[in-house]
Structure 1
Amino acid sequence: MGRGAVLEAEQTAAQSVSFESVRLTRIALIGNPNSGKSSLFNQLTGLNQKVGNFPGVTVDRKTGTAQLTPHHRAAIIDLPGTYSLYPKSLDEKVITDLLYDRGSSEYPDFVVVTADASNLKRNLLLYTQLADLQLPMVLALNMMDTAEQHGIQIDVAELQRQLGVPIIPMNARKGVGITALKIVMAQELGPPTQTFYQPSEELLPMIRQIRYYFNLHNDYLALHYAHQYQRLAFLSADERSYIHELCQRYGFDSVSQQAQETIARYAHISELLLDVVRVTRAEKNESYSNRIDRVLTHRVWGYLIFLGILFLLFQAIFAWAQYPMDLIDQGVAWLGGQLKARASGPLVDLAADGILAGLGGVLMFIPQIALLFAFIAVLEESGYMARVTFMMDRIMRKFGLNGKSVVPLISGMACAVPAIMSTRTIENWKDRIITIFVVPLMSCSARIPVYTVLVALVVPDEPVLGIFNLQGVALMGLYLLGFVSAVLSAWVLKTLLRAKERSFFIMEFPVYRWPRWKNVGLTIVEKVKAFVFQAGKVIVAISVLLWVLASYGPGSALQQAETQARTEAAQRAFTPEQTDNLIASQKLESSYAGVFGRSIEPVIRPLGFDWKIGIALITSFAAREVFVGTISTIYSVGQDADMSTVREKLLAEKGPDGQPFFTPARAFSLLVFYVFAMQCVSTLATTYRETKGWTWPLLQLVYMTGLAYAASLLVYQLMK
Structure 2
Amino acid sequence: MEAPINIALVGNPNSGKSSLFNALTGLNQKVSNFPGVTVDKKTGSSRITSNLVANIIDLPGTYSLYPKSADEYVTYEVLINPSHEEVPDLIIIVADAANLKRNLLFCSQIMDLKIPVIIALTMMDIARKKGIEIDLEGLESKLGVPLVAINPRKNKGLGELKKTIEQVMRDKQGVSVHDFIDNHGLAPQMIRDIKQYFPAKSDYAALHIAVNVEELPFLNGGQRLAIKNKLVESKFNKTKMQAEEIMLRYARIKTVMKTTVVEADPLEKQLRSEKIDNLLLHRVWGYLILLLVLFLLFQSIFWLASYPMDGIEGAFSALSGFLSATLPDNNFTDLLVNGVLAGISGIAVFVPQIMILFGLITILEDTGYMSRISFLTDRLMRQVGLNGKSVMPLISGVACAVPAIMAARSIENRKERLITIMVTPLMSCSARLPIYTIVIALVVPDHKVLGFLSLQGLVMMGLYLMGFFMAIVLAAVMRLLIRMKEKSYFIMELPVYRAPRWKNVGVTMIQKARIFVTDAGKVIMVISVILWFLASYGPSKAMKEAKTRHEQLVQAHPEDTTDLDRVYQSDKLAHSYAGVLGHVIEPAIKPLGFDWKIGIALITSFAAREVFVGTMATLYSVGENPDDNDATLREKMMAARREDGTPVYTLATGLSLMIFYAFAMQCMSTMAVVKRETRSWKYPVIQLFYMTGLAYVCSFVVYQLFK
Q: Is the 8 A contact 2:350 2:434 kept in 1?
A: no
Kindly provide the amino acid, as one letter, of the partner of residue 692 in structure 2: T
Q: Is the 8 A contact 2:436 2:460 kept in 1?
A: no
Match status 1:51 vs 2:31:
yes
CA–CA separation in structure 2 for the residues paired with 1:477 and 1:145:
41
Correspondence for 1:466: none
Q: 1:81 pairs with 56, 61, 66, which one? A: 61
Correspondence for 1:545: 530
Counterparts in 2 of 1:617 and 1:634: CA distance versus 1, 3 Å = farther
**Structure 1 residue 342: Cα displacement:** 2.2
Match status 1:437 vs 2:417:
no
Q: Is the 8 A contact 2:442 2:649 kept in 1?
A: no
Q: Which region of structure 1 is more displaced relative to structure 2, 373-382 or 202-211?
A: 202-211
CA–CA separation in structure 2 for the residues paired with 1:199 and 1:178:
33
Correspondence for 1:396: 381
CA–CA separation in structure 1 for the residues paired with 2:540 and 2:384:
53
CA–CA separation in structure 1 for the residues paired with 2:567 and 2:586:
22
Correspondence for 1:381: 366
Counterparts in 2 of 1:605 and 1:331: CA distance versus 1, 3 Å = closer
Correspondence for 2:300: 316
Question: How is 1:267-278 mapped onto 2 (pairs within 5 angstroms)?
Answer: 267-278=251-262
Match status 1:330 vs 2:317:
no
Match status 1:428 vs 2:440:
no
CA–CA separation in structure 2 for the residues paired with 1:635 and 1:230:
64
Q: 2:212 pairs with 213, 217, 228, which one? A: 228
Counterparts in 2 of 1:251 and 1:593: CA distance versus 1, 3 Å = farther
Q: Which region of structure 1 is more displaced relative to structure 2, 706-715 or 534-543?
A: 706-715
**Structure 1 residue 191: Cα displacement:** 1.7
CA–CA separation in structure 2 for the residues paired with 1:500 and 1:366:
45
Question: How is 1:407-556 mapped onto 2 (pairs within 5 angstroms)?
Answer: 428=410, 430=417, 433-434=421-422, 436-440=424-428, 446-447=435-436, 482-491=467-476, 505-555=490-540
Correspondence for 2:695: 708
Correspondence for 2:276: 292
SS at match of 1:537: helix
Kindly provide the amino acid, as one letter, of the partner of residue 473 in structure 2: L
Kindly report the root-mean-square deviation, in angstroms, between the aligned alpha carbons of the 2 structures. 4.8
CA–CA separation in structure 2 for the residues paired with 1:376 and 1:295:
21
Kindly provide the amino acid, as one letter, of the partner of residue 437 in structure 1: P
CA–CA separation in structure 2 for the residues paired with 1:554 and 1:276:
84
Kindly provide the amino acid, as one letter, of the partner of residue 212 in structure 1: Q
Q: Which region of structure 1 is more displaced relative to structure 2, 106-115 or 551-560?
A: 551-560
CA–CA separation in structure 1 for the residues paired with 2:408 and 2:96:
22
**Structure 1 residue 199: Cα displacement:** 5.1
Cα deviation, 1:174-201, whole Å, max 9, x if unaligned, reads 2222111111101232422232344586
Q: 1:350 pairs with 303, 311, 335, which one? A: 335
Q: Is the 8 A contact 1:408 1:420 kept in 2?
A: no
Kindly provide the amino acid, as one letter, of the partner of residue 50 in structure 2: P
Q: If the length of structure 2 is used for normalisation, what is the TM-score?
A: 0.79
Question: How is 1:650-665 mapped onto 2 (pairs within 5 angstroms)?
Answer: none
Counterparts in 2 of 1:368 and 1:131: CA distance versus 1, 3 Å = same
Q: Is the 8 A contact 1:54 1:61 kept in 2?
A: yes
Counterparts in 2 of 1:183 and 1:314: CA distance versus 1, 3 Å = same
Q: Is the 8 A contact 2:21 2:58 kept in 1?
A: yes
**Structure 1 residue 380: Cα displacement:** 2.3
Correspondence for 1:302: 286
Q: Is the 8 A contact 2:399 2:429 kept in 1?
A: no
CA–CA separation in structure 2 for the residues paired with 1:599 and 1:96:
54
Correspondence for 1:61: 41
Q: If the length of structure 1 is used for normalisation, what is the TM-score?
A: 0.78
Match status 1:145 vs 2:125:
yes
Q: 1:104 pairs with 71, 84, 96, which one? A: 84
Q: Is the 8 A contact 1:619 1:630 kept in 2?
A: no
CA–CA separation in structure 1 for the residues paired with 2:561 and 2:237:
84
Correspondence for 1:136: 116
Q: Is the 8 A contact 2:8 2:90 kept in 1?
A: yes
CA–CA separation in structure 1 for the residues paired with 2:335 and 2:484:
45
Cα deviation, 1:388-425, whole Å, max 9, x if unaligned, reads 2211133235446664766886898xxx6568777887
**Structure 1 residue 319: Cα displacement:** 3.0
Structure 2 gaps, min length 5: 412-416, 446-456
Q: 1:173 pairs with 144, 149, 153, which one? A: 153
Match status 1:31 vs 2:11:
yes
Q: Is the 8 A contact 1:306 1:388 kept in 2?
A: yes
Cα deviation, 1:76-100, whole Å, max 9, x if unaligned, reads 1121222112223332222122122
Q: Which region of structure 1 is more displaced relative to structure 2, 555-564 or 375-384?
A: 555-564
Correspondence for 2:573: 588
Counterparts in 2 of 1:290 and 1:61: CA distance versus 1, 3 Å = same
Q: 1:121 pairs with 92, 101, 105, which one? A: 101
Counterparts in 2 of 1:603 and 1:46: CA distance versus 1, 3 Å = closer
SS at match of 2:205: helix
**Structure 1 residue 627: Cα displacement:** 8.9
Kindly provide the amino acid, as one letter, of the partner of residue 315 in structure 1: Q
SS at match of 1:319: helix
Q: Which region of structure 1 is more displaced relative to structure 2, 242-251 or 99-108?
A: 242-251
CA–CA separation in structure 2 for the residues paired with 1:39 and 1:668:
42
Counterparts in 2 of 1:497 and 1:215: CA distance versus 1, 3 Å = farther
SS at match of 1:221: helix
Q: Which region of structure 1 is more displaced relative to structure 2, 383-392 or 212-221?
A: 212-221
**Structure 1 residue 310: Cα displacement:** 0.9
CA–CA separation in structure 2 for the residues paired with 1:71 and 1:374:
35
SS at match of 1:66: strand
Q: Is the 8 A contact 1:40 1:173 kept in 2?
A: yes
CA–CA separation in structure 2 for the residues paired with 1:540 and 1:598:
24
Q: Is the 8 A contact 2:539 2:576 kept in 1?
A: yes
**Structure 1 residue 615: Cα displacement:** 3.9
**Structure 1 residue 115: Cα displacement:** 0.7
Q: Is the 8 A contact 1:154 1:277 kept in 2?
A: yes
Q: Is the 8 A contact 2:15 2:122 kept in 1?
A: yes
SS at match of 1:531: helix
Q: Which region of structure 1 is more displaced relative to structure 2, 118-127 or 92-101?
A: 92-101
Q: What is the total number of aligned residue pairs between the two structures?
A: 673
Question: How is 1:177-196 mapped onto 2 (pairs within 5 angstroms)?
Answer: 177-187=157-167, 188-196=172-180
Question: How is 1:195-274 mapped onto 2 (pairs within 5 angstroms)?
Answer: 195-198=179-182, 203-232=187-216, 251-274=235-258
Cα deviation, 1:273-301, whole Å, max 9, x if unaligned, reads 11111136666322222111111111111
Counterparts in 2 of 1:96 and 1:422: CA distance versus 1, 3 Å = closer
**Structure 1 residue 324: Cα displacement:** 1.6
CA–CA separation in structure 2 for the residues paired with 1:215 and 1:364:
58
Correspondence for 2:349: 364
Kindly provide the amino acid, as one letter, of the partner of residue 281 in structure 2: T
SS at match of 1:321: helix
Cα deviation, 1:103-155, whole Å, max 9, x if unaligned, reads 23311111111111121101111111111111111111222222222221212
CA–CA separation in structure 2 for the residues paired with 1:365 and 1:719:
28
Correspondence for 2:453: none
Kindly provide the amino acid, as one letter, of the partner of residue 151 in structure 2: N
Q: Which region of structure 1 is more displaced relative to structure 2, 233-242 or 342-351?
A: 233-242
Correspondence for 2:548: 563
SS at match of 2:47: strand
SS at match of 2:427: helix
Counterparts in 2 of 1:645 and 1:380: CA distance versus 1, 3 Å = closer
CA–CA separation in structure 2 for the residues paired with 1:174 and 1:668:
46
